[in-house]
A and B are shown apart, each in its own frame.
Chain A
Amino acid sequence: MMDSSCDRAVGAIDELGDGDLGRVKWLLLKRHARKCKECAGYLGRMETLIEALSEFGSVRAPEDLVDTVMAYLLSSVAPIEDHLVEVEHGRRNMFLVVGAAGLGVTAAVALAIVRWVLGRAPGAATDGDDGLAPIGTA
Chain B
Amino acid sequence: MPNTRLSRDGRDDARLVKRCREGDAGAFECLVRKYQDPVYGIAYRMVGDREEAKDLAQETFINAFEGIDTFNSRMPFRAWLYRIGANASIDHLRRRGRVRDIPVEVAAAAGDSYGNQGEYGVVIELPGPETDIPENVSVTNETSGLVWDALEQLPDHYRVAIVLHHMEGVSYAEIGRVLGVPRNTAKTWGHRARGLLCEALEGVV
| Residues in chain A within 8 A of chain B (CB atoms) | 14, 17-18, 41-42, 44-46, 48-62, 65-66, 68-70, 72-74, 77, 80-81, 84
Contact, CB under 8 Å: B54 / A62: yes
Measured in the bound complex, the distance between the Cα atoms of B50 and A77 in whole Å is 28
- Do B162 and A53 touch (CB < 8 A)? yes
Instruction: Determine the distance from Cα of A54 to Cα of B169 in the docked complex, in whole angstroms.
Output: 10
Residues in A whose Cβ lies below 8 Å from that of B12: none
Closest B residue to A81 using CB positions: B23
B198 — which chain A residues lie within 8 A by C-beta?
42, 45-46, 49
Chain B residues 91-138 with CB under 8 Å of chain A are 103, 105-106, 120, 122
Tell me whether B143 and A65 are in contact (CB under 8 A): no
Interface size on B, residues (CB 8 A): 47
Question: Which residue in B33, B41, B169, B194 is a CB contact (below 8 Å) of A49?
Answer: B194
Q: How far is the CB of A119 from chain B (nearest CB, A)?
A: 55
| Residue B78, interface by CB 8 Å | no
Interface residues of B in 141-183 (CB under 8 A from A): 143-144, 147, 162, 165-169, 172
Asked whether, in the complex, the Cβ of A54 is within 8 Å of the Cβ of B166, the reply is yes
Query: A59 near B205 (CB under 8 angstroms)?
Result: no
A68 to B137, CA, bound (A): 39
In the complex the two chains form, is A66's CB within 8 Å of B28's CB?
Answer: no
CA distance A23 to B197 in the complex (A): 25
Give the residues in chain B near A56, CB-CB below 8 Å. Answer: 45, 103, 105-106, 144, 166-167
Residue of A nearest to B144 (CB): A52
CA gap between A54 and B40 in the complex, in Å: 17
In the complex, which residues of chain A have a beta carbon less than 8 angstroms from the beta carbon of B190? 17-18
Interface string of B59-74 (1 = CB under 8 A from A): 0011001000000000
Closest to B109 in A: A55
On whether the beta carbons of A69 and B32 are closer than 8 Å, the reply is: yes
**Cβ contact within 8 Å between B143 and A48:** yes
Would B191 and A17 count as touching, CB distance under 8 A? yes
For residue B86, CB closer than 8 A to chain A, the reply is no
A70 touches B32 (CB 8 A): yes
A55 near B144 (CB under 8 angstroms)?
yes
With A45-B205, A60-B120 as known contacts, state yes or no: A84 contacts B23, CB within 8 Å. yes
